[in-house]
Amino acid sequence: MSGHSKWATTKHKKAAIDAKRSKLWAKLIKNIEIAAKMGGPDPSGNPTLFDAIYKAKKQSVPNDNIERARKRGGGLDGGGVDYTTIMYEVYGPAGVALLVECLTDNKNRAAMEVRTAVTRNGGTMADPGSVSRLFGRKGIVVLNKEQEGKEVDEDAVLEATLDAGAEDVNDLGEAWQVYSEPTDVVAVRTALQDAGLDYESADVEFVASMEIPVADAETATKVMKLVDVIDDLDDVQNVFSNAQISDEILEQLDEE
């Protein structure tokens, strides 16, 4: 789930994590292929590919898989990929808005699977533009608070990244999330590295301009189920939401 609250870092049970690992790896591999196709197979000259590979390694994707994806995307093995990016706009329970980003080699399949998942789980497909206008693109760099046995505070993150274009720092509980303009995301993660701070991921994502508070645990469960079902689809790369779920409701759900 691509989110921008503690919801984004809520830990699931180990069984759920294990079940989703292969799907996560497949999405990370796809990102590498597309980055190599768009900007060339050399990570040193392709920052998007560099970050896609870095993120995959952080999620323990085997190096052989990463290398094959890089060569396949860059056409170095005589293969190549032909994916199309499609955005679907969705309304969920309580008027929550979702942007669904697909990367697919079959538009008809992607459309059918997304539509089916949405309608069977309490959502409705929205008219083009009605949801996307609620989101804007931002650079997002995530770094863990604990690094080499020491706690990294917000002031240290700001001091390292402000001159590189950082606009805001969000507390995710166990990590910091640094916002910037999309064009500054490479400068921000480079500034962190120069300051001796390791980062987990550096991406350009869609961020809601206004979040919708979810009032109760029942509604939160419905929203999270809808997001999970959509995110599990093979063609779906990311699901962005403007749902705001409080820590109190998340704790209530954890207890259940």
pLDDT reported for residue 15: 43
Helical axes 154-161 vs 185-194, angle rounded to 10°: 120
The encoded tokens of residue 218 equal 């029942």
CATH code at position 144: 3.30.70.980
Instruction: Pick the last residue of a domain from 168, 186, 208.
Output: 208
Together in a domain, 122 and 146: no
Q: Which of 87, 83, 77 is nearest to 31 (CA)?
A: 83
Together in a domain, 203 and 214: no
Per-residue pLDDT tens listing for the chain (256 residues): 344 444 444 433 444 555 577 888 999 999 999 999 999 999 999 999 999 999 999 999 999 999 999 999 988 876 666 889 999 999 999 999 999 999 999 999 999 999 999 999 999 999 999 999 999 999 999 999 999 889 999 999 999 999 999 999 998 888 999 999 999 999 999 999 999 999 999 999 999 998 999 988 899 999 999 999 999 999 999 999 999 888 888 888 777 6
Task: Compute how many other C-beta atoms are within 10 angstroms of the C-beta atom of residue 87.
Answer: 15
Together in a domain, 87 and 182: no
91 and 126 in contact (C-beta within 8 Å)?
yes
Together in a domain, 89 and 186: no
Together in a domain, 62 and 112: yes
The b-or-e profile of 25-59 (16+ CB within 10 A means b, else e) is bebbbbbbbbbbbebebebeebbbbbbbbbbbeee
The encoded tokens of residue 87 equal 């955005």
Give me the number of domains the chain comprises.
2
pLDDT reported for residue 256: 65
Together in a domain, 91 and 48: yes
| Backbone conformation region of residue 116, classed left if phi is above 0, alpha if psi is from -120 to 50, else beta | alpha
Which residue stretches of the chain are H helix? 14-39, 47-58, 63-74, 107-119, 154-161, 185-194, 217-231, 247-255
Together in a domain, 39 and 107: yes
pTM value is 0.85
115 and 100 in contact (C-beta within 8 Å)?
no
Together in a domain, 113 and 239: yes
Q: Enumerate residues 6+ apart whose C-beta is below 8 A from 175.
A: 9, 142, 143, 144, 145, 200
Instruction: Pick the last residue of a domain from 172, 187, 208.
Output: 208
Together in a domain, 180 and 217: no
Together in a domain, 78 and 198: no
Structural domain boundaries enclosing 15: 1-134+209-256
Together in a domain, 130 and 114: yes
Together in a domain, 100 and 218: yes
